[in-house]
Amino acid sequence: MNVGDYDFELPEALIAQTPLTDRTASRLLVLHRDDGRVEHRSFKDLAEYLVPGDTLVLNDTKVIPARLFGRKADTGAKAEVLLLKPLGDDRWEALVRPGKKLHKGAEIHFGESGEGLKPLLAAVVEEEGEMGARTIRFRYDGIFNEILDRLGEMPLPPYIKERLEDRDRYQTVYARNEGSAAAPTAGLHFTGDFLEKLEARGIRICRVTLHVGLGTFRPVAVDDVLEHKMHEEWYAVDAENAELLNRARREGTRIVAVGTTSARTLETLGQRFGDASIEPCSGWTGIFIYPGYAFRLVSALLTNFHLPKSTLVMLVSALAGREAVLSAYREAVSAEYRFFSFGDAMFIT
């Protein structure tokens, strides 16, 4: 399976740079899996495609201000750190810039008050990994999350050029468990009122957690898709929400994933428990879903429009078929849908 099979033309003008003022004002492309039919609707019309008894699965992860700007302790040169994954004992997997000057042993200071004063936060590079990754250890006084909230910035995707003044606009309204390096962007379309209306119609709301790492969004760097290695991400489901999923399976009702991160969490649970009851659990998942995969839990998917040649396009293609998905993407480009994090939505039913 070649990565070129998941390429398509995407005009740069369609990459959404800013969020809409009204979260629910996005457009919605509906793709019917049974016949490949496409409909062009508004996101608010999603309610028409959900029925009482459906279980809508949200990823309640919360983005942390994971981008830090500092200076090298020895030279004073500018340095940037993007936190990806906590490793315990104040150690993190991170990306650094400039990578050519931040090798093992390099120390970076953040939040210095002046020459000779102790920085609010210091980091030492302990290990060098693949694709620019580093293992760093922090040193500080106080509470790390409070310092990070003070010094850090939201880790917006590189294609978004404008600074986001309102941090909350890159959070879902239901975000509660801190740990993500990126937002589960399909959830950015929802408001609290819209979710309440869905619940009032008999839609069950289920919450899982998957802390999104930037590896999810990287284009595949190998020609043969099967040689691509996914980065692991941490997931969890509690007893109450595990029972919601078990109930849906017992009753034969649909499980609707909001976003590819929710879908990956659900399918990780499906692989972990098989036909047995899902139990509360947590762990790391590197699940890679591409055409040929047999879905165990996901019945329908709400998602944004993704990068060409990305693992996310492959996941969507696994659910709806590559030709149908690429045809729908071409139609979305022709109709000038907004793409990526702050873009429009697609519902595969």
Q: How confident is the model at residue 91 (pLDDT cuts 50, 70, 90)?
A: very high
What pLDDT is attached to residue 215?
66
For residues 285-308, average pLDDT:
96
Is this model's pTM higher than 0.75 or not? Answer: yes
Q: Positive or negative CA dihedral for 27, 187, 95, 118?
A: positive
For residues 101-130, average pLDDT:
86
The rounded distance, in Å, linking the Cα atoms of 146 and 137 is: 17
For residues 67-96, average pLDDT:
91
What pLDDT is attached to residue 314?
94
Cβ-in-10-Å burial (0-12, 13-18, 19+) of 347 comes to buried
For the segment 275-294, what is each residue's pLDDT rounded down to a tens digit? Answer: 999 999 999 999 999 999 99
Contact in structure between 281 and 272 (CB atoms under 8 Å)? yes
- Collapsing DSSP to helix, strand or coil, 343 comes out as coil
Average pLDDT, the chain: 92
Cα dihedral: 345, 37, 298, 28 (round 10): 10
DSSP character string of 273-340? HTTSPP--EEEEE-----TT---SS-SEEEEE---TTBHHHHHHHHHH-HHHHHHHHHHHHHTT--BS
- Collapsing DSSP to helix, strand or coil, 224 comes out as strand
What pLDDT is attached to residue 164?
76
For the segment 35-71, what is each residue's pLDDT rounded down to a tens digit? Answer: 999 999 999 999 999 999 999 999 999 999 999 999 9
- Collapsing DSSP to helix, strand or coil, 100 comes out as helix
CA distances from 182 to 166, 216, 261, 274 (A): 15, 10, 11, 29
Closest listed residue to residue 260, CA positions, set 200, 213, 228, 227: 213
Terminal alpha carbon distance of the chain: 25
Q: How confident is the model at residue 84 (pLDDT cuts 50, 70, 90)?
A: confident
Least confident of 77-91, 149-163, 184-198, 270-284: 149-163
Position 267 pLDDT exceeds 90: yes
Q: How confident is the model at residue 231 (pLDDT cuts 50, 70, 90)?
A: confident
For the segment 169-182, what is each residue's pLDDT rounded down to a tens digit? Answer: 999 999 999 999 88
Contact in structure between 115 and 79 (CB atoms under 8 Å)? no
Q: Give phi and psi for 69, each to the nearest 5.
A: -115, 125
Cα dihedral: 179, 230, 79, 166 (round 10): -40
Domains in the chain, CATH or no CATH each:
3-63+166-348 (3.40.1780.10), 67-151 (2.40.10.240)
Q: Give phi and psi for 90, each to the nearest 5.
A: 65, 20
Rounded percentage of the chain residues whose pLDDT exceeds 70? 96
Contact in structure between 71 and 109 (CB atoms under 8 Å)? yes
For the segment 9-35, what is each residue's pLDDT rounded down to a tens digit? Answer: 999 999 998 999 999 999 999 999 999
Cα 320 → chain centroid: 20
